[in-house]
A = this chain, B = another copy of it.
Amino acid sequence: MDKQEEILKAALKLFVEFGFHGTPTSKIAKEAGVANGTLFHYYKTKNDLILALYTDIKTRLTEHIDSKASKNDSLKVAFKSLFINTLQWSQEYKQEFYFMQQFRVSPFILLIPHEDILRQAKAHLDIQAGIKNEILKPLPAEFLFSLINSHIYGIDQYLSSTNLSDSKQQKLIEDSFEILWDMIA
């Protein structure tokens, strides 16, 4: 692994444990096994590092979801795939998922253009279309989007607080999707 990756990895670990501001750049460098200045060789400022980490994680999650999606699925299958893959990823990459939540209630979120946030998230499925085709309930798309998102976060939180076996976890995720689908369709 090259130094730049080591730095991101170390930053993630420490940010999750101590928060952005509770983590000095010197500790990140030490954890990454590089010199203090090396961090600033790759990231001009600590802010830049935080933003780069967010972008990196978001990209990885998006790629994971996209890699599992197939083009010709029905809306429900597409939704289900998105839902399940997001939650599986959230459990496999707990730190990453937690970091994103931290980031989203931090002032740093303001540095990400608002559209970027929505676009990427909604890119995976066309809620609008589902409403038009009368597959989804006739509610504002933004509202449905909020419901779906928060549902996912709720499940993630529950999974993280308990310690289910893989199969039980799998079952719970699938059941949860049916609950969600009943709610929005």
Contacts and interface: CB of A to CB of B under 8 A. Distances in A.
A22 interface: yes
Contact of A142 (B21, B107, B162, B183): B162
Looking at A17, A21, A172, which has the most chain B CB atoms within 10 Å of its CB? A21
A96 B146 CA distance: 20
Interface in A104-157: 105-107, 140, 142-143, 146-147, 149-151, 153-155, 157
Q: Copy number of this protein in the oligomer?
A: 4
Q: How large is the interface on A (under 10, 10 to 19, 20 to 34, 35 or more residues)?
A: 20 to 34
A153 B106 CA distance: 16
Given A19-B107, A105-B98, A150 B157 contact: yes
A147 B143 contact: no
A154 B147 contact: yes
A136 B65 CA distance: 33
Looking at A18, A105, A172, which has the most chain B CB atoms within 10 Å of its CB? A105
